[in-house]
Chains A and B, each alone.
Chain A
Amino acid sequence: MNENSSVGQKPAVNVSNTERILSAVAAGYLLYSAATGNKARLVKAGSGAFLLYRALSGNCPLYSALGKARKPDPVKNINVRAVVTVNKPKDEVYTFWRNLENIPLFMKHIKSVTTMDDGRSHWEANIPGMSSLLSWDAEIVKEEEGTLLGWNSLPGSVIDNAGKVTFADAGENGTEVSIVITYRAPFGPAGESIARLLNPIFKNMVKEDLRNFRRYFETGEIPTIKGQPSGREETATIL
C-alpha cells in the first residue's frame, strides 16, 4: 500500500504497511486482553482502540502531533525471550518441535503451518481483533540436531521475524526449552510507545505459548474451563 494521498475526508496515511499490521496486531491483543478481564482494562482498551484506529486508518495522530509527516526510518528490533522446562527427554522434545506442523497444536494464534519440500514453511496466524488471517513464509536457517533450531522469515513477510529455539538437558527435570524471537519493525521516536506496548504483549503471548507447549506435550491437552456450567449462563435461573 503506497497511499500517500488522502481520499475524501480520510486522514493522510503516515504509517507504513508493516506498522499498520503491527498496530492491528497490538490493538487486537490489547482489546482482547481488556475484554478477557485484565486489571488495566481501561488503559488497555484505550490504547487498543488507538492502535486499531492507527492500523485501520494508516494515520497516526501521534506522528501528526509530533509533526512527523512520513514513516520513521530507523529499524528497531523487539526481542522476546521465554523459557520453560518440560518433563520429557530432550530428543523427544526436539523431534516434536522439528515438525513445524505441530506448532498450531499449542500456539493458539497460529492457525496452520505448512512445510514445503524445499524446507520452507508457510505460516498462518489468527489474531484476535483482526478479521483476516496474517500469513508469511519462513525457512529454517540453522539446525543442530537435538539442540537448536533457528529460523528466518523470508523477504516480503508482513512481519520480519527471526528466532531460535534451544533445547538443553535438565537432568531429572526434563528439558529446558528456550525461545528467542526477534521482530524487525521500523520504529521511529514516536513508535517507541508502540514498541513499549508491544513488547510485554508479545512476551506474554510467547510465554503462554510455551506454557501451552508444556501442557500439550506432557499431557496431550490444554486445560480449559470454557464451556463449563455456571450461574453466569444466560439461561441460568435462581431456584
Chain B
Amino acid sequence: MKALCWNGTRKLNVERVSDPSILNPKDAIIRVALSSVCGSDLHLVNGFIPTMKAGDIIGHEFNGEVVEVGSEVKKLKKGDRVVVGSVIGCGECYHCTHDEWSLCDNSNPNAVYQEKLFGYPTAAIYGYSHLFGGYAGSHAEYIRVAYADNGCFKIPDGISWEQSLFASDALPTGYMAADMAVKPGDIVAVWGAGGVGLMAMKSAWLKGAARVIAIDRFDYRLAYAKQECKAEIINYSEVNVLEELKELTGGRGPDVCIDAVGMEARSSNKLEYAYDKVKQNLRLQPDRAAVLRQAVMACRKGGTVSVVGVYSSLVDSFPMGILMNKALTIKSGQMHAQKYIPHLLDLLQKGELDPEFLLTHKWPLDAGAEGYKMFNDKADGCMRVAFNPSVMA
C-alpha cells in the first residue's frame, strides 16, 4: 500500500510498503477514507518529539471502513464505517475503566522507555513516535487498529466521512479542554485558533460559558473563531494580549484560560521569542512556553488553566510563583478519545456541532509532503488538510 513516512526533520515521503495485518486478537484493519494533519504532527515533522525513526508512518486523525477483524473483536464487522480515536486504550485497565483513556496502562508496547522518562507510562497514540508506542499511523491506505472494539466508533447514518473526521482528534481534544475547566457563566479565553482551539471555543459554549475570547495572529483563523465559534477576537501580533484581556473582562481576567497551542508557541515579545527559539533549537529546552506563561499571567485569581496544547518534556521559566500565589488550577492531558467520541457523534447527529468547516483542503495522499508544508506555513487559508488514500463513496 501507499503510506506517508517520516524520514527525518521536515522530510516526508510517500512510500510503497506492505499492507498491515492483524497482529493481536483484538485488532482490526481499517481501509482509510480520510486522514487529517494535526498540530501534533507538526511537532514531529519539525523534529521536536524524540524517538521518531526514519520510515515511521505518521497520521492519527482518521476514519474509514472495517475490512478485517481479529478473533476477539466483538462489536465490529466488515463494512462498518467508523471513526477512530487517535489515542489507544485497552478498555480494561484501571485508567480506561475510569474513562482516562489517554492514561491507559496497557496499550504502549514501549512502556519501559516511557516509564523511565515520565515515571509512569501513558497510552500509545497512532503515528506519534516510539515513546508513544510506535504504532503505524493513518496516512496510508490501510491501518491496523488495536483494541478495535474500544477505538472504533460507528459513524451514524446520514453523517459523512467529512463531517465525522474530526470526531477522531481535534473535536474531542477541544471538548476535553472545556470539559476539564469550564463552569456555567465562565469567561473563557482560548490561545490558538487552530482546529483544536476552535473546537475548544465551540465546546466552551456547550459547557455554559458566558463569553469566549480567541487569541491568534492569523486573521483568517480569527475570522473562523468569530463567525463559526462566536468568539471575541484578539490578534496577538497587533495588541498587548494581557492588557486587552484585562480590559475585556472588567479588570478581573478570564476564569478559564485554554492553551490550544503547545510547545511551538510564538511570542509577540521578540526577545522572549528569540530566547525560547534559540534555546529550543540548541535543545537546551525542548518546549517553548510563551502561551503557558501568558495564560498563567492572564488568568483570573483562583481560575483554571486548561492545557491541551502538547509539550514533550521541559519548559523554561515557568511562572510557578504566579500560579501558586494566585491559587490557580492546572488541568491537562492528551485527550480521552473514547470517553468523548460517543457523546460528540450524538451532538453531530443532532446538528448541535459541525466541525466540517475545518476541512479546508482534501488532497490525495501523494501530496502529503506539500500538505504538511501548507499546514505548517498556514498558507492558502488552511485549517486542516485531509488525505483520501482510498477514494470511497
Known A-B contacts A229-B3, A231-B54; the reply to A221 vs B26 at CB < 8 A is yes
Q: Determine chain B's interface SS by DSSP, over half rule.
A: loop
Question: Are A225 and B135 in contact, CB atoms less than 8 angstroms apart?
Answer: yes
Query: B91 is contacted by which of A219, A230, A232 (Cβ under 8 Å)?
Result: A219
Q: A204 at the A/B interface (Cβ < 8 Å)?
A: yes
Question: Are A218 and B92 in contact, CB atoms less than 8 angstroms apart?
Answer: yes
Chain B 2-26 near chain A by CB (<8 Å), digits 1 or 0: 1101010000011111111101111
> Which of B101-109, B153-161, B217-225 faces chain A?
B101-109
Question: Are B134 and A225 in contact, CB atoms less than 8 angstroms apart?
Answer: yes
The range of chain B's interface size is 35 or more
Q: B192 at the A/B interface (Cβ < 8 Å)?
A: no
Chain A 202-239 near chain B by CB (<8 Å), digits 1 or 0: 00100110010011001111111111111111011111
Question: Are A230 and B5 in contact, CB atoms less than 8 angstroms apart?
Answer: yes
Chain A interface residue count, Cβ-Cβ cutoff 8 angstroms: 31
Q: Determine chain A's interface SS by DSSP, over half rule.
A: loop
Q: Smallest Cβ distance from B74 to chain A, in angstroms?
A: 12
Question: Are A218 and B133 in contact, CB atoms less than 8 angstroms apart?
Answer: no
Q: A85 at the A/B interface (Cβ < 8 Å)?
A: yes
Chain B 90-105 near chain A by CB (<8 Å), digits 1 or 0: 1111100100000001
A contact residues around B54 at 8 Å (CB) = 231-232
B contact residues around A218 at 8 Å (CB) = 90, 92-93, 105-106
Known A-B contacts A87-B92, A218-B90; the reply to A231 vs B97 at CB < 8 A is no
Query: A225 is contacted by which of B1, B92, B136, B140 (Cβ under 8 Å)?
Result: B136
Known A-B contacts A87-B92, A215-B106; the reply to A229 vs B72 at CB < 8 A is no
Provide the bound-state CA to CA distance between A40 and B25, in Å.
35
Q: A174 at the A/B interface (Cβ < 8 Å)?
A: yes
Q: B366 at the A/B interface (Cβ < 8 Å)?
A: yes
Q: A99 at the A/B interface (Cβ < 8 Å)?
A: no
Question: Are A219 and B106 in contact, CB atoms less than 8 angstroms apart?
Answer: yes
Q: Smallest Cβ distance from B32 to chain A, in angstroms?
A: 13
Query: A230 is contacted by which of B2, B24, B55, B94 (Cβ under 8 Å)?
Result: B55
Q: A102 at the A/B interface (Cβ < 8 Å)?
A: no
A contact residues around B15 at 8 Å (CB) = 231, 236-239
Question: Are A233 and B17 in contact, CB atoms less than 8 angstroms apart?
Answer: yes
Provide the bound-state CA to CA distance between A102 and B387, in Å.
45
Q: Give chain B's interface residues, CB within 8 Å of chain A.
A: 1-3, 5, 7, 13-21, 23-26, 53-57, 72, 90-94, 97, 105-109, 111-112, 124, 133-136, 140, 144, 146-147, 366
New A-B contacts (19) at CB < 8 Å, excluding given A85-B94, A219-B92, A229-B19 = A87-B92, A208-B112, A211-B111, A211-B112, A215-B106, A218-B106, A219-B90, A219-B93, A225-B133, A228-B23, A229-B20, A229-B136, A230-B5, A231-B3, A231-B56, A231-B57, A233-B18, A238-B14, A238-B15
